[in-house]
Copies of this chain bind each other. A is one copy, B any other.
Amino acid sequence: MEEVFKKLKEKHIRLTPQRLAVYEALARENKHLTVEEIYGKIKKRFPAVSLATVYSILELYRKKGIAAEIRITFNRSCFEARTDSHHHFFCRECKKIYDVELRPCPALQAAQVDGHSIEELHGYFYGICRECR
């Protein structure tokens, strides 16, 4: 938490109430939330907040490495406060997203594949989760 604010300060980014609220919404649950969900959570305390603002804050956080965007569902973005690299699982039954730690995932360590230099890796698993089967 503290280091996030430090990071923002280093880059001369103002910590406004809206931005704080977005970050808290993400960090409190430590889950994958859609933009709409984040918007919903914030609106309780900041009725005047705009959806476009939430988008722009999330985009700012993404660029600064404070939040990560995942696209495991094809039709909308989710964001999470975790920034360390890991994979995800999507349950086709209950639609829940799980974090997946792939212990020895060679791809996560690798600096390149086929001569291409890797900056980022998204691993999306699809199936039925342990709760649903």
What is A's interface to B at a CB cutoff of 8 Å?
69, 71, 74, 77, 87, 89, 91-92, 98, 100, 102, 104-107, 112-130, 133
Listed from nearest, the 7 A-B pairs whose CB atoms lie closest are: A115-B130, A119-B127, A120-B126, A122-B124, A118-B127, A116-B129, A117-B127
Q: Nearest chain-B residue to A113 (Cβ)?
A: B100
One of B92, B98, B106 near A119 (C-beta < 8 A):
B92
* In the complex, chain B residues whose CB is within 8 Å of the CB of A100: 113-114
B121 and A116 contacting across the interface, CB-CB below 8 Å: no
* In the complex, chain B residues whose CB is within 8 Å of the CB of A92: 119
A104 and B102 contacting across the interface, CB-CB below 8 Å: no
Chain B min CB distance to A118 (Å): 5
Given contacts A71-B74, A74-B71, A74-B77, contact A116 B125 (CB under 8 A): yes
B102 and A116 contacting across the interface, CB-CB below 8 Å: no
* In the complex, chain B residues whose CB is within 8 Å of the CB of A115: 129-130
Given contacts A104-B106, A105-B106, A107-B102, contact A123 B126 (CB under 8 A): no
